[in-house]
Every structure is written in structure tokens, then in C-alpha cells.
Structure 1
Amino acid sequence: MSAARWDDLKIRMISGALMALAGMVAVFLGGWYFGALAVLAAGLMVWELAGMMGAGQAAVPLGTLAAVSLFSASMIPPGAAQLLLLAAPLAGACAIRCDRLIFAAYALAILIAAHGLYWFRLENGGVWLFWLILVVIASDVGGYFAGRLIGGPKFWPRVSPKKTWSGTIAGWIGAAIVGAVFISFTTAGIDLIWISALVALASQLGDITESAIKRRKGVKDSSRLIPGHGGLLDRFDGLLGAALMMLLVALFVTVPSVRI
């Protein structure tokens, strides 16, 4: 087995562990600690997205506008807040010459996820955000190792050449195991197992979506924000997809209240 297949493992594990730790501490503390992290991360991701999409000098103002509008939205009722979340996507669509709809849709997805997670944490406690983070980690780790150990047919070679079906399925299995563990100490039913796998699929699609945008724009990383390992979008693209799916499922499924 070639050592080159594992050459990114160390930096991947270190960067992933540090960001997961920071996220989990913020989730545990909740309130403005988690809100501040959500605002900062969303603003930086919109800045990265604008840079990839060719916004040039408008990238920093767009990222700032996203952060300010998200912070302002947290101060008012959720229904009225959604209009504020449109500010940066619409401004970016005006400032960017190509692929305006892609920017607007992706930027809005980032802001909806950040805003939704903030209110979800306030209303349902931190346990389900820990579950979300662990589902994404299990999917990512399971997919990484299965993809390199087993290999096999590619999941979507035109968009994500490295992702295999073996890694994809291993990610679903890892997420389902996380769901089974959470069933043991919460009032969630057996449905949490397939919901966990569904959220893992959304995480994988989030990763593929960002890969497709980077391939379309001819860039390797969303930014150089994380030394040697790209930007926040490169690290949180999966979490973005998973968060949107969790928030969607929560519209139709009663979320058991488990406080920490």
C-alpha cells in the first residue's frame, strides 16, 4: 500500500480535531458563544465564496454584510429575520458577473444554516448539535478510510474524483452507528438511525456541491485561511449540507428535548 494514499491524514486529523473541539465548546456553552461562532464562520464562508466566484474587492464587504445581517437577524423574531438574510446573497448577485444564481443560492444556504442552528440550539439544547457534528465526523472518517482501504467505483467522478461508493456507504453506516448510540440515552426512536444516515448523505452532497463550484471556477481551495489545508468552506461544506437536512427534518419530526 502506497504511503502517498495517507499523506494528508495527519494534517486532516489535526485541523479537523481542532475545529471540532472549538465547535463543540461553543455548542456546549450555547447562547452568544455559539452565536458569535456562527456569525464569524458564516461571514468568512460568504467571503470565501465571493472570492471564488470572482467578486474581487467586493468579497470582503459581502462577507461583512453577511455577518452583520446574520447578527442583526438573531436580534429579531425568526420570521422577520429571513428578509435580512437575503441582503448579502442579493448584493453579491449584483456585484458578481458570472454564476450569480449559484452565488446567491449558496450564500443563502450558508446564512440559513447558521441562523437555523443558532435558534435550534436555543430551543432544543446542545445534544442534537453534538449529534450533528458526530454524524458528520463519522461520515467523513468512515468515508476517508473505506475509500482508501477498499476503493472501487467512483461515486460521482466528474465532480468529485476521489469519492468512492465504498466510502460513501461506509459514511452512512458510521452515521447510523452514531444514531444508534444516541438512542441509548435519549427519547429518540429507532427512526434516528435512518435519519442519521440521511443527514450523512446530505453531508456528502454538501461536500460534492462545493467541489463542483471549485471545479467550475478552477480553484483548488476556497481560501488559504487554514494554513496548508484550504478554507472554512473546504472544512465545513459537509456540515453545511448536514445542518440544512437536520433543519428540514426538524420541520416534520418532533425533536426530543434533551438538555445538557
Structure 2
Amino acid sequence: MKPPIPNGAGGTGRWGDLIPRIISALVMVVVALGAIWAGGLVFTLVIAACCGGMVWELSQMLAPRRADTALLLGGASFGAVLFAGILPAALGAGLLLLPVVLGWLQVAEGAKTRFAVFALWIVLAGYSFIWMRISLGADWLIWLALVVIATDVAGYFAGKTIGGPKFWPRISPKKTWSGTSAGWVAAALVGLGAAPVFDIGFALVLASVLVAMASQAGDVAESALKRQTGVKDSSGLIPGHGGLLDRFDGMLGAAAMFLLLYPFLG
């Protein structure tokens, strides 16, 4: 047996996942910013692909022996979000129910509700991102992404460095109160820096913290699902991060919170 790799050199130890995590994060940031800048069909395709991948992972977790079902539901989610984003809202929005209905028919009895809730959450969040890019432009999307990234990065480093009491050990044993609160501070700083762009002032700072909390809630919800299904990661698609659902669960929560806050932000 080979000896363990020293701490910080990769593989094991507190910072063993740092290098692949950074590389994967940089690739995702470049793809995300490029898609946001491009907008239009490019952005819609990227969002639809992410939604399809997340529903595929969800299906794999809830029905691990049915690869054909996972492909069917992932493909249906991709198509539903894509055409919902292209077609007029009156025609396209109803398509978002397609993967939910198909999943209800395909998934085993004990997993139907969990699939329906998470699948609907995923496709609605994807559709809301497309709506934001079309209706609000790139600025709001970039702010939302920066809040979630700052929350995640600050939480990761504070949790690893400071440690301390666990936030919710039964559901998410790696998360600490130090990392959680550091995420709120980082989100507030993003809001403070972005406030002049939107000419909103302190309201954007408060909104950023609420979005950060919703992002963390999305992470906890996905952790609870993984606990229930007995898996460590939603998949192995992204080195250092797990799967798409592991990486974008925070964005799903952030999207839901933004839609609630937007009327008050004007």
C-alpha cells in the first residue's frame, strides 16, 4: 500500500481537494461568464444542458439501477427548459411540467415526491435564469453568481481554517457555523460593491445576504437528499466538486430567493 500524500500535496488531508477544485471552478467560471455575455440561444442551451444534467443525476440517485430512466428524464428536462426559453411564455412554461410528469410515472413509489419536488425546482430555476438574462440583462445574473461564488468560497476556506461547531451535523457534517457566517459576510461585501451599479444602496447588501442564506439552504436541501439516498456526490462529472447538482444547488436556492426579492428591489 502506498503511503498517504502529505497534507496540502493533493489527494488527502484538509486541503487535498483544493487543486482540482480550483481548476474546475475556473473552467466553470469561464463557461458561465461566456454564456452570460453571449446571451440568447447560447445561454439558453447552457442552462438547459445544466438542468438536464442535474435531473439526470437526481434520477441516478433515486433510481440507481435504471440508467435508461435517468437518460429519458435528463433529456426531457433539457428539451423542456430549452423550448420553454425559446417559445413565448404562454406556450413554453407548461413544458416545464413534462419531466415532472414523466418522472412521476417512471420513478419508484417511495421516490416520486422527492423527484417531483427537486425536478420542478431545477427546471423552474433554469427557466428563471433564462428570464433574467432576457428581461434584466447580464448585470443581475453576474451579481447573483458572484454572491453565490463568494458565499461558497468564503464558507469553504473559513470552515477549513477556523472550523468550530457544526452547522447541522446530522444533514451536512462538513459545514460549520464559521463557514456559514463567513459566507454571509462575503455576500454582504459583494452587495456593497455592486450597490452603485444598480443604484439601490443598502437594500442590495441585505438582498445579497438573503440570497446567500438561500444558497446555503439549497446546499443543505441537496445534502439531505444525498443522506437519504446514501450517496456522497450527485455524480463525478466535476473533479473536486462532485456533480452538477453538488455545484449548482446553491444557485437553485439563490434563484428562488431572487424572484421573491426582485419586486422589492424595483
Q: Give TM-score, length-normalised by structure 2.
A: 0.91
Provide the identity percentage.
Answer: 48
Task: Pick the aligned partner of 1:70 from 78, 81, 87.
Answer: 81
Question: Does 12-21 or 220-229 show the bigger shift?
Answer: 220-229
Partner of 2:4: none
In structure 1, what is the equivalent of residue 32 of structure 2?
23
Q: 1:227 to 1:169 in 2, by over 3 A?
A: closer
**Alignment of 1:132 onto 2:141:** no
| Matched residue type, 2:102 | A
**Aligned residues between the structures:** 253
Q: Is the 8 A contact 1:176 1:193 kept in 2?
A: yes
SS in structure 1 at match of 2:197: coil
Looking at structure 2, the residues matched to 112 and 238 of structure 1 have their Cα atoms a distance apart, in angstroms, of 14
Residues in 1 aligned to 2:19 and 2:192: alpha-carbon distance in whole angstroms: 29
**Contact between 1:143 and 1:171, CA under 8 Å: does it hold in 2?**
yes
Amino acid at match of 2:255: A
Structure 2 contact 148–251 (Cα < 8 Å) conserved: yes
Contact 1:138–1:175 under 8 Å retained in 2: yes
> Residue deviations 1:91-131, cap 9 Å, x none?
11221112211111111111011111101111111011111
Moved segments of 4+, more than 6 Å: none
Query: Per-residue displacement from partner, 1:160-187 (whole Å, max 9, x unpaired)?
Result: 0010111101000000000000013332
Structure 2 partner of 1:258: none
Tell me how large the CA RMSD over aligned residues is: 1.5
Distance (Å, rounded) in 2 between the aligned partners of 1:82 and 1:210? 25
Q: CA deviation at 1:188?
A: 2.1
Is there any run of 5+ residues in structure 2 with no aligned partner, and where?
A: 1-6
Q: 5+ residue gaps in structure 1?
A: 255-260
Q: Which amino acid aligns with 2:41?
A: W
Asked if 2 retains the 8 angstrom alpha-carbon contact of 1:222 and 1:233, the reply is yes
Q: Match for 2:100 among 85, 89, 96?
A: 89
Counterparts of 2:23 and 2:259 in 1: how far apart (Å)? 28
Match of residue 19 from structure 2: 10
Q: Is the 8 A contact 2:21 2:239 kept in 1?
A: no
3-state DSSP class of the match of 2:173?
strand
Q: Aligned equivalents of 1:167 and 1:26: distance in 2? A: 30
Shift of 1:76: 2.8
Contact map agreement 1:16 1:235 (CA 8 A) in 2? no
User: Aligned AA for 2:103?
Assistant: G
Match of 1:218 among 219, 230, 239: 230
C-alpha displacement at 1:61, in angstroms?
0.6
